[in-house]
Structure 1
Amino acid sequence: MNPPEEYINNNAGELVKGGSHQLSSNSASESGNLDKVRELLFGNQTREVDKRFARLEERLVKELTNVKDETRKRLDSLENYLKKEVDSFTERLKNEQTERDSGMKALTEEYRNITISLEKKITQLDEQTTNSQRELREQILNQSKSLQDDIQQKCQEILALLERETQELRRDKTDRSHLATLFTDLAIRLNTDNKS
């Protein structure tokens, strides 16, 4: 991403030829020329790094939004499932209660037998309901753990991606020693041009 040395030398030479007297007498002009050289050397790199960070941030926000939406969908699905199960159990209990109420109109002996039978069924239904609720709680817990694991995994992937991108951006930066050598060469050439 660095501009060719010839381009740097030509532009630097023009800066020096056009204002060598001003550089020695005016520090403000010297600072302005240094800014121009800095823009020539690093302008494109700085803009490229800014663009990469912006793209990386956009990808991160999109990934987090996707994870959030997926979690919301799963929780909504789980809530609907639970509502259906509870409604189903309630309906079964209501039906059993209705049967018991209609059995009360029968003879006393029949009534006792039906009552006993219904009580057994209700007890079984209670046990089934308790077991089903326990299973549902376990399913909710397992799904919650699964969702949490998914979210953690997504976060780790995003952090790893961010780390990779950051390292890549660091690798793309200009090395300080290389930059110092480049400025030293530039100064030597500027002095040589001034003497000739």
Structure 2
Amino acid sequence: MQTPDTLAPEAAPEIVASPELLVNAMRRDTVPDKNLDMIRNILFGEQLRDLERKNASLERFVRVSINALAEDTQRKLDALQNDLRLVKDLLIEEAKARREEHQGARHRLEKNERFLDELAKRMTTEVTKLDQQLEASHKDLIRQLHETAEQLRHEKADRKAVAAILNGMAKQLFDVEKVEAL
């Protein structure tokens, strides 16, 4: 068996390698690796194990932190979604209430408009009737005045007769005012 110190220089590689040559080459390569691993273990073994422990601890810490962060984030997202749902429901209810209030106000406005239209028609009718009555009374009074004036002209009454007539009219008016005052 050859040791790493006594190895002979190798010949140029053949194009076709046989399985035996490959096994021998692997055996020669593993021997120096074992020695090298042992030297590494002696020199850096404790530091390497410390680093591996720290790395494992750090991995656990990162994993736990990520899980806690994920849970916290999920909890906050759930709370936010719940708040958004509540706000959405409140906005829907408020919009519905405003729509109903608007419809009620529109209904009341239409009702008031109909009432005002009806009242305006009634007032117009009453004003027309009063105008007609006033016009009739006015015409009647003018007619009476004309008749009285005509009578006076036909009778050619003297001033005393006119004074007596006017005095009588004044008494009648005075009596009518007394009656109306009672």
TM bracket, shorter-chain basis: 0.3 to 0.5
Q: Higher Cα Rg: structure 1 or 2?
A: 2
TM-score by length of 2: 0.39
Comparing both structures, which one devotes a greater share of its residues to helix?
1
Question: Greater relative contact order: 1 or 2 (C-alpha under 8 angstroms, separation 6 or more)?
Answer: 1
TM-score by length of 1: 0.37
